[in-house]
Amino acid sequence: MPIVSCPIPGCDYATPDLDASIVAALLTTHSTIHASAGTGSAAKIEKVKRPTIVAAGTSEDWAYFTSRWSDYVEATKISGKDKVVQLLECCDEPLRKDLTRSSGVSLTTKSEAEVLAAIKRLAVREENTMVARVALHNMRQDRDETVRSFGARLRGQAGICKFNIKCPGCSMDVNYTDEILRDALTRGIADPEIQLDLLGDKNQTMDLEDVFQFIEAKEAGKRSASSLLDSHVVNSASSSYRKTKQMHLKEGQDLCNYCGKKGHGRGAPARVRKTQCDAYGHKCRHCDRFHHMENVCRSRTNLNVSLR
């Protein structure tokens, strides 16, 4: 059979001059290479989830929703009326009903900004700024909470405190949230030793990120020291155990003062000798006293010394 070339343009593969059935099998096997190359498996991208909003939320909840909504619009590339429809679908059923009742007409004809304003009026409850600020300064780090997680809680609360002031010189709004967060973070640290180190540091002009890094370094150092201390405690306990075991072993090899044998120590207490010492309950024939054998009787020893 003549040589057969691959039908795919740009491919130089050709079969040898073999039997027709073998050539067909070779071409079939070779075609799988093109098939796998042309249908490369791409990673499946998960569908972007639409954010949700409910009534009677906080300003922090609203800020989080608007951030998620912006990400959703950017990812889906929706626009025009579709954007308004999807925005309304973000509301749960009670909030959607209240929107319809308050507007009196369909909101799908409104702009995105108008719908957002209508949702905010119903979804965000009225808040007292001063109460929110007092709550911020009363926040404390939990025992097992990282300083970054505590900082995120602080920033979420600070979002409703409105730390803005107009500059008297240029009338621009100045945001001083980070300065307040730095003070609240210092006040709310759970570890009093780290707090004292921070307050006693010579650099009293640290910004918020510097304070985070200072606390994280101290926490890491204390964790490392704790692990090292734990290993020393374990080693010390192990060493004490070995010493005690060796001492008991040595005591077991000493001759008993009451029976003259090994196994229960030189001067074992009565509760031990009662079960382990042969001399317990025995009456010595030399001195007529109980609980010792004749071969270790001290009266006999003293008698031998006096006879000499």
User: What is the mean predicted confidence (pLDDT) over 20-47?
Assistant: 66
Share of the chain above pLDDT 70, in %: 82
Residue pair 194/217 in contact by the 8 Å Cβ criterion: no
Q: Are 21 and 92 part of one and the same domain? A: no
Question: Which of 61-65, 176-180, 236-240 comes out lowest in average pLDDT?
Answer: 236-240
Cα–Cα distance measured from residue 235 to residue 231, given in angstroms and rounded to the nearest whole number:
6
User: Residues 59-77: pLDDT tens digits?
Assistant: 888 888 999 999 999 998 9
Q: What is the mean pLDDT of residues 75-92?
A: 91
| 50 belongs to a structural domain | no
137 & 216 share domain: yes
pLDDT of amino acid 303: 46
Structural domain total, the chain: 4
- 244 lies in a domain? no
134 and 119 belong to one structural domain = no
Residue 38 lies in a domain: no
Q: Quick check: 27 and 4 in contact, CB under 8 A?
A: yes
Task: Name which residue leads in pLDDT, 104 or 180.
Answer: 180
Q: With respect to residue 99, please indicate whether it lies within any of the assigned structural domains.
A: yes
Q: Quick check: 205 and 182 in contact, CB under 8 A?
A: no
Tell me: do 108 and 140 sit in the same domain: no
Q: What is the mean pLDDT of the segment spanning 104-112?
A: 84
Residue that finishes a domain, picked among 105, 123, 141: 123
Angstrom distance (rounded) from CA 180 to CA 159: 12
Residues in the chain: 308
Report d(CA 233, CA 65) in Å as an integer. 51
For residue 241, being part of any structural domain is answered with no
Let me know whether 260 and 286 are in one domain. yes
Pair (214, 267) in one structural domain = no
Is 74 in the same domain as 155? no
Structure-model confidence comparison of residues 10 and 80, the more confident one: 80
Residue-wise pLDDT for 200-214, tens only, equals 999 888 999 999 999
- Among 81, 99, 123, the domain boundary falls at 123
Q: Is residue 258 part of a domain?
A: yes
More confident residue, 84 or 15: 84
- Does residue 144 form part of some domain? yes
Question: Rounded to whole angstroms, how far apart are CA atoms 178 and 175?
Answer: 8
Q: Pick from 198, 222, 246: which residue ends a domain?
A: 222
Q: Would the pLDDT of 167 be above 90?
A: no
Task: In whole angstroms, give the CA distance from residue 212 to residue 79.
Answer: 40
Q: Both 134 and 117 in a single domain?
A: no
Answer whether residue 44 is part of any domain: no
pLDDT band of residue 91 (cuts 50, 70, 90) is very high
136, 119: one domain: no
Which pLDDT score, from 0 to 100, does residue 298 have?
Answer: 78
Q: Is the pLDDT of residue 226 over 60?
A: yes
Q: How confident is the model at residue 41 (pLDDT cuts 50, 70, 90)?
A: very low
Task: Round the average pLDDT of the chain to a whole number and report it.
Answer: 81
Phi, psi of 174 (to 5 degrees): -110, 125
Q: Do residues 188 and 154 lie in contact, with contact meaning Cβ atoms separated by under 8 Å?
A: yes
Does residue 274 sit in helix, strand or coil?
helix
In this structure, the answer to whether residues 69 and 143 fall within a common structural domain is no
Q: Which residue, 92, 95, 97, is CA-closest to 50? A: 92
Q: Which domain holds residue 281?
A: 254-307
Please give the share of the chain, as a percent, with pLDDT higher than 90.
27
pLDDT value for 208: 92
